[in-house]
Amino acid sequence: MSSPSETFEFQAEARQLLDLMIHSVYSNKDIFLRELISNSSDALDKRRFEAVQRPELLPEGTELHIFIAADKEKRTLIVCDNGIGMSREEVKELIGTIAKSGSRAFLERVRQGKDKAGTPDLIGQFGVGFYSTFMAADRVTLLTRRAGEEHATAWESSGDGTYTLREAERTEPGTSVTLHLKPSDTEDALHDYADEWTIRRIVKQYSDFVAYPIQMDIEHTNDKGEKSVERETLNSMKAIWIRDKSEVSEDEHHEFYKHISHDWNEPLFRIQAKIEGTLEYRLLLYIPSKAPFDLYYRDAARRGVHLYVKRVFIMDDCKELLPDYLRFVHGVVDSEDLSLNISRELLQQNRQIMRMNKGIVGKVLASLKELRDNEAEKFATFWREFGRVLKEGLFQDRDNREVLLDLVLFASTQDPVQPTSLDGYVDRMKPDQQAIYYMTGETRAQVENSPHLEAFRAKGYEVLILTDPVDEVWSQSVFEFKGKKLASVGKGAVDLGSEDEKKQAEEERKEKQQEFGPLLDCIKDKLSEHVKEVRLSSRLTESAACLVTDEHDLSPQLEQMMKAMGQAVPAVKRILEINPRHPILERLHGIHERAQDDPALADYAQLLYGQAVLAEGGQLPNPAAFSKLLAALMVKTL
């Protein structure tokens, strides 16, 4: 006997999502059935997977399937499966609340683009597919029972901002979703969802490749007018990665990609191969055309590479097959050699999996190189969406570092629009140039306006502009590319030009050092709290001063990132460089020669340091004191 029902309110964002669905913002309403079938397929996969460790969850002889029933008179459509099912709490969490990290972003995207084509494809990306049922139904009822549990749960809503939950009965594990359909549009028979041929069309178009039978009871009439009902399977269930490439259309590939990824945009390109030898496996991988909103969320639910063994589903998001920097890849890997009862724990130590990982990563990177060489526009799209993630491999994957360095692109001072490869940079290097120069920063404008670039600009040297947070990390461990040293223009000493120019510059520096040495020591003493050294600069041509990080110290940006992650970072003092040709140095030198204990020297030293901090976009240690000093100087000079 069922228990009394409880009524709950949807969260605010879930109510807004329901309102969008009910008022049919989307033109392609067929996707609700595609979503329900995909959900059922996922539930069947999960029951089969959990049964590997708990065989009692899938008794021998159980045939996993999806069943669809339609009733034109009652205007109902039922999608039923005998998958893993849900507990009461799972129903409440997964369907009742929905408004997790993605829904807010989903709503914003819909508001921005609801007049644009393609808006329906946002549904799967944000995990709100179940709500698309309200595009076709006035009321939706869900009955579910989790495998291994006795009690079932019934969920119901009319999309009015509330839903009810009650205990119910169901003879076997699984889920049934009943849609009480809206009145049919007599002028649009193609979208009458209680019609057998509409259902056949949608299943064939979107779900033909689903690995489980999608069944329906079909009524037949023979020559004598006698009626009979037969249960038919509507989909072919052919594993798309097994079929010959020539047999699979682009539309089929697109639908299969959407099925496994829940990203309803079309993929950018795919990688398909059969690997033979000591290990035999097939792979069918897809690179998305758009980055998901949660690509950088540590706890995001991934739908990465699905692992199959001899066409039997083992698990989705098999992290052991691809490294984290390729987490945007979706697809299927089907092994002929792995054991069917392999667990996630065993995967981590499995030598076959390790070798497969190496082969799959190599195939993905080789395909990206081929895309770059042959389809520049597509590669530009890929880089715009996933370049930041790929650069994580520069410090995560030492074995493939050279391949990755050959693939990555960077903004540079050479071109304000087109990024460059490292090969392209090397080709443009000046004859007397010794290194590949780069500078990290928060924005392109900040880097381009930095005083650190002055000498490089004067020499005509190109500088790579690195503004992604990941650049701060990989640049600490990558020191050369094809024999050319990588050097930060904001670190260490700078030695530019030909040998003769360097020799002449060194002689001038020694001469200036002798002249200004006592003043530099004085400034260092006044700024001992902030800097470890004060020296004359060979990188400044216009600005008075700049701050430089010592060769092996953390950059300010990396120091800030580590602190934000809660890591204890010792305070790093930097080097203050002063332009030996700037009038400020001459004036300070004059003051110092007249009176070495002049209190104005301390004030000017603080101003010089503050100016250097501000010039690189940094934060002053004491903005109020700096402002007060600046105001006093203005009063004095005016």
CATH number of the domain residue 311 falls in: 3.30.230.80
Tell me what the pLDDT averaged over the chain comes to.
85
Residue 99: pLDDT band (50, 70, 90) is very low
Q: Name the residue with higher pLDDT: 633 or 480.
A: 480
Q: What is the pLDDT of residues 326-342, one digit of tens each?
A: 999 999 999 988 876 66
- Could you tell me the residue range of the domain that residue 621 belongs to? 512-637
Q: Pairing mode, if any, of strands 227-233 and 214-221?
A: antiparallel
User: Residue 534 contacts by C-beta under 8 Å, 6 or more apart in sequence?
Assistant: 520, 521, 523, 524, 527, 575, 576, 577, 578
Closest CA to 531 of 553, 510, 512, 558: 553
Residue 92: pLDDT band (50, 70, 90) is confident
Q: What is the pLDDT of residue 566?
A: 73
Q: What is the pLDDT of residue 552?
A: 78
Q: Do 176 and 318 fall within a single domain? A: no
- Asked if 412 contacts 456 with a C-beta cutoff of 8 angstroms, the reply is no
Q: Name the residue with higher pLDDT: 601 or 506.
A: 601
Which residue, of 219, 237, 259, is where some domain finishes?
219
Least confident of 86-95, 142-151, 382-391: 86-95
Q: Do 200 and 251 fall within a single domain? A: no
Q: What is the pLDDT of residues 53-76, one digit of tens each?
A: 899 999 999 999 999 999 999 999
CATH number of the domain residue 623 falls in: 1.20.120.790
Q: Do 210 and 258 fall within a single domain? A: no
Which residue, of 387, 402, 420, is where some domain finishes?
387
Least confident of 194-203, 409-418, 499-508, 584-593: 499-508
Percent of the chain exceeding pLDDT 90 equals 41
Three-class secondary structure of residue 6 per DSSP: strand
Q: Do 135 and 251 fall within a single domain? A: no
Region 541-558: mean pLDDT is: 83
Closest CA to 489 of 464, 472, 513: 464
Q: Is 390 exposed, middle or buried (0-12, 13-18, 19+ CB in 10 A)?
A: buried
Residue 491 within a domain:
no
Q: Do 352 and 294 fall within a single domain? A: yes
Q: Do 125 and 268 fall within a single domain? A: no
Q: What is the DSSP code string of 218-242?
A: EEEE-TTS-EEEEEEE-S----TTT
Q: Do 171 and 282 fall within a single domain? A: no
Asked whether residue 316 carries a pLDDT value surpassing 70, the answer given is yes
Q: Do 144 and 184 fall within a single domain? A: yes
Q: Do 272 and 377 fall within a single domain? A: yes
Reading the block at residue 585, the tokens are 């140095």
Phi, psi angles (nearest 5°) of residue 401: -60, -45
Name the residue type at position 12. A
Residue 633 within a domain:
yes
Residue 318 within a domain:
yes
Q: What is the reported pTM? A: 0.72
CA distance 563 to 557: 10
At 181, which helix (H) or strand (E)? Answer: strand 174-181
Which residue, of 344, 370, 387, is where some domain finishes?
387
Residue 461 within a domain:
no
Q: Do 185 and 309 fall within a single domain? A: no
Residue 479 within a domain:
no
Angle between helices 600-615 and 499-526 (to 10 degrees): 120
Q: Do 214 and 349 fall within a single domain? A: no
Region 355-375: mean pLDDT is: 95
Q: Do 211 and 62 fall within a single domain? A: yes
CA distance 462 to 187: 65
Please state the domain count of the chain. Answer: 3
Residue 232 within a domain:
no
Residue 480 within a domain:
no
Region 146-164: mean pLDDT is: 91
Percent of the chain exceeding pLDDT 70 equals 88
Residue 449 within a domain:
no
